[in-house]
Structure 1
Amino acid sequence: MEQYKRKIALTNARFYAYHGYYHEEQMLGNEFFLDIICFVSNPTLNTDDNLVKTINYEELYRIAKEEMAQPKKLLETVVDNILNSIKVNFHEVNEIEVSLRKSNPPFGGDAATAEVSLYWQSGT
C-alpha cells in the first residue's frame, strides 16, 4: 500500500527578539533564526490547488512571530511554546520539529550560534 508524507517547512525565518537568561540580553536583544518543519502522513492530494488542504506556512510564521515577540529567559521555552501552538492549531500534523538559533550568544564565541531544537511525533 502506498503511503505519502507531506513536509511543510519554514526555514531561516529571521527575528530580532529579546530572549535570554541575562539582563543584558533582555535589554539589548539579538538576532534569531527559526526553522519549523511539519509532516502530515497520508495527506489529501492537493491536485485542485486548494490552500485549505495543506498547512499554510503563513500561519506557521504568524505563530512564530507571536511567540518570538514574548521575551523568555530560555530558548527551550520559546521552542516548546511554538511547537505546542502548532499542535493546537494543526491537528492533522503528525510530526513537528522546531529549531531556534541565537546569533552571537554572550559567552565570548566568535560568530557562534546557540541552538535549541524540539521534535515531536504523534503516537498514532
Structure 2
Amino acid sequence: MGIIKLTNIRVYAYHGCLVEEGKIGSDYRVDVSVTANLQPSATSDHLKDTVDYVLVNQIVKEEMAIRSKLLEQVCKRIIKRIFNEIDIAEEASVEVSKINPPIGGNVEMVTIAMTLHRSDYSDPTQL
C-alpha cells in the first residue's frame, strides 16, 4: 500500500451556518490523503495505475464550490467522490480548515477531519 497526499489546497468558498458566511465567503485549506496499492504504478509507470492527484485536486475544488452549512458534509462529499472516481482508493482522509473563522476570538483556523475506508461500505453510494 501507499499514500498519495495533497497538502494545503487553497480555495475560497462560502460554507458556514451564518448568512454572512454565504455572502462574503472565506479562505479554506484542504488536505487529502488517499491510500491505495501503488505497486502496479511503481512497476508500470502509467498514470492509469495510480491515484491521479490532478483528479483529486479537481474533486476538492468542485466540492468546495458547493455551499454547505457544515464542513463535515463537505469532507464526506469529497471522500464519496474519491471512492466513486478512483477505483484503487482503499482509504481517504480529508481535512477541511476554515482560516480565521468568525468565532469571536483570535483563532488561526478550525479543522474538520474525516477518514473513511472503502471496505466499510458494500455500496459507495451509502457514504
Q: Quick check: TM above 0.5?
A: yes
Gap runs ≥5 in structure 2: 121-127
The alignment partner of 2:39 has SS state of coil
Q: Relative to structure 2, which stretch is displaced further, 111-120 or 11-20? A: 111-120
Residue among 41, 57, 60 paired with 1:61: 57
1:21 lines up with 2:6 in the alignment: no
Aligned length: 120
The alignment partner of 1:46 has SS state of helix
Match of 2:109 in 1: 113
In structure 1, what is the Cα distance between the partners aligned to 2:41 and 2:95?
A: 28
Q: Which has the higher helix share?
A: 2
1:2-21 aligned at under 5 Å gives the runs 5-21=1-17
- Residues 67, 114 of structure 1: alpha-carbon distance in 2 compared, 3 angstrom cutoff: same
**Which aligned segments of 4 or more residues in structure 1 are displaced greater than 6 angstroms?**
none
In structure 2, what is the Cα distance between the partners aligned to 1:75 and 1:45?
A: 33
Gap runs ≥5 in structure 1: none
In structure 2, what is the Cα distance between the partners aligned to 1:18 and 1:53?
A: 35
Residue among 63, 72, 80 paired with 1:76: 72
Q: TM-score, normalised by structure 2?
A: 0.87
Q: TM-score, normalised by structure 1?
A: 0.89
| Offset at residue 47 of structure 1 (A) | 3.3
User: Identity, % of aligned pairs?
Assistant: 33
In structure 2, what is the Cα distance between the partners aligned to 1:112 and 1:9?
A: 23
| Offset at residue 45 of structure 1 (A) | 4.3
Residue among 36, 54, 61 paired with 1:40: 36
1:122 lines up with 2:103 in the alignment: no
In structure 1, what is the Cα distance between the partners aligned to 2:103 and 2:33?
A: 29
| Offset at residue 44 of structure 1 (A) | 1.2
1:90 lines up with 2:79 in the alignment: no
